[in-house]
Amino acid sequence: MSTMTTSQPSHAADRMPDFSNDLQLSVRDLEITLTTRDEAKPLVKGISFDIRRGETVCLVGESGCGKSVTSLAIMGLLQSPPLSVTGGQILLREGDSVTDLAALTPRGSAYRDLRGRAMSMIFQEPMTSLNPAHRNGRQIVEMIRQHISLSRAAAWDRMLEMLRLVGIPSPEIRAKQYPHQLSGGMRQRVMIALALACDPGLLLADEPTTALDVTTQAQILNEIRKLSVKRHTATLFITHDLGVVAQLADHVHVMYHGKIVESGTVREIFKNPRHPYTRGLLASVPSLARDQETDMETLDPIPGSVRDLPEDPSACPFQPRCRMALKRCAHETPPEFQVSETHKARCWLEAEIR
């Protein structure tokens, strides 16, 4: 198993000199490939990002850009075959040790042991995690006892405390019910309680509230935010909803066609978006297009679709949809430009203003 203690540098540790103490997850040059009989198609093309303890990092981008496969790769839950991690590192801290998840076998016992205990995931559809045939409380108790050495009674108390923490009234009654006896919002809360039951250092959330009404969505987002701050959980939140990003994120990564095209603090991304794709996303949101102190006063959706790709594979992938494209964009991939210490953009316009 590729586990190393940070206090005892090893050969592997030499390759990650800056894994500071507050870093919980560091994804470095991650590549995910779809392999069929006819081709090997890269879906995620070398993305890198960090998440620190207590920090919420949002991954945003249009449908199909690779958000879900990224989170599934971290959890070791990619559908394999045809999908697999074909490059990069996924460094996860647990206590004093750091494990490169990309070097583990996803179906192996080491990975299985980390799921639920060191990291867990909440999905849009709660029944992805919940078993319809088991009572709500029992599912959480089993998860706790699988990873933590606690008596049944102590695990039961911990489960009730978790249900209370995620805002479930009368947890003693709800614990004895089955998932189908709860409303959609309540089921979502039970799934969050299940995910957080073992106090994982890393929480992955893939569009967890998209199917809920706006009021329940806002309440649940608040709970997730409060819990992650209180328990110092590093959270990766995946969404295409920029309103949610504004409410939750510390740091934002904007993905387009399997690459991160812009990243920065939430303030940098909302107040000073540099990549035309990020500007387009912001201009497509009614409330943001009206409220932000930018020059985008009206709704202005991005033209074309994410399937529009340039003819030349070495072009900027956004070129066919970009209103600001320069001549070189049609045949040269832009590198990453540093806008500030925390802000980066992959766009040739940055070279023009230097």
The answer to whether 129 contacts ligand ATP (rule: CB under 6 A) is no
Q: Where are the alpha helices (DSSP H) in the chain?
A: 11-14, 67-75, 109-114, 136-147, 152-165, 171-175, 184-196, 214-230, 242-248, 266-271, 276-283, 286-291, 349-352
Strand partners, 197: none
CB of 74 to ligand ATP, least distance (A): 12
The answer to whether 4 contacts ligand SF4 (rule: CB under 6 A) is no
How many Cα atoms within 13 Å fall on the side-chain side of residue 154?
A: 7
CA distance 35 to 120: 27
The answer to whether 326 contacts ligand SF4 (rule: CB under 6 A) is yes
Which residues, in sequence order, are CB contacts of 269 under 8 Å at separation 6+? 245, 252, 254, 262, 263, 278, 343
The answer to whether 83 contacts ligand ATP (rule: CB under 6 A) is yes
63 binds, among Mg ion, ligand SF4, ligand ATP, none (CB under 5 to 8 A by kind): ligand ATP
CB of 67 to Mg ion, least distance (A): 5
Residue 16: burial class (beta carbons within 10 Å; 0-12, 13-18, 19+) = middle
163 binds, among ligand ATP, Mg ion, ligand SF4, none (CB under 5 to 8 A by kind): none
The answer to whether 349 contacts ligand SF4 (rule: CB under 6 A) is yes
The answer to whether 68 contacts Mg ion (rule: CB under 5 A) is yes
CB 193 within 8 A of CB 140: yes
Region of 79-87, 160-168, 232-240, 345-353 interacting with ligand SF4 (CB under 6 A): 345-353
Q: Which residues bind ligand ATP (CB under 6 A)?
A: 34, 43, 61, 63-69, 79, 82-83, 240
Binding site for Mg ion (CB under 5 A): 68
| Residues near ligand SF4 (CB under 6 A) | 275-276, 316, 318-319, 322, 324-326, 329, 334, 347-349
